[in-house]
Amino acid sequence: MESPRTSRQPPASFISDLRPSRVATLEAVVARLDPVREVETKVGGTRRVREALLKDPTGEITLVLWGDEVDRVRLGERVRVVDGWVAERRGRPQISVGRAGRLEPVATD
């Protein structure tokens, strides 16, 4: 029996379907990786952040990666964002893993 992490089930959402203030699961290719930046947190200290551009056949969306997530994706890799949080920034939707989501590589055949 296949584990849920490696099964080839279709994504729950396509990028064109995503709306702010909702949880979503999607599968897409990493089309661009921006440089890693250090940002100051509200509670003091710094945290690493990086933006990636995800693409699927229906569109593209920015994926915001925090902390250890910045090292977990590679350019050209197919990833699945499970229960990611969709927000709006500068009038455009973006997605992050958030508190309850996860980021998974998708095995290619």
Q: Which of 104, 101, 72 is nearest to 84 (CA)?
A: 101
Give a yes or no: residue 84 inside a domain: yes
Give a yes or no: residue 8 inside a domain: no
Give a yes or no: residue 15 inside a domain: no
Give a yes or no: residue 55 inside a domain: yes
CB atoms within 10 A of CB 56: 18
Task: Please tell me the pTM assigned to this model.
Answer: 0.84
Domain count, the chain: 1
User: What is the residue whose two structure tokens read 């599968």?
Assistant: 27
Give the tens place of pLDDT for each residue, 75-92.
Answer: 999 999 999 999 999 888
Give a yes or no: residue 39 inside a domain: yes
> Domain span at residue 33?
22-105
Name beta bridge partners: 26. Answer: 13, 81
Give a yes or no: residue 34 inside a domain: yes
Instruction: Return the CA Rg of the chain.
Output: 14
Domain of 39: which CATH number?
2.40.50.140
Structure confidence at residue 103 (pLDDT): 95
Confidence tier at 56 by pLDDT (50, 70, 90)? very high
The whole-angstrom separation of Cα 104 and Cα 91 is: 27
Give a yes or no: residue 7 inside a domain: no
Give a yes or no: residue 6 inside a domain: no
Residue with more model confidence, 44 or 78: 78
Burial class (CB in 10 A: 0-12, 13-18, 19+), 103: middle
At 101, list the tokens. 């989501």
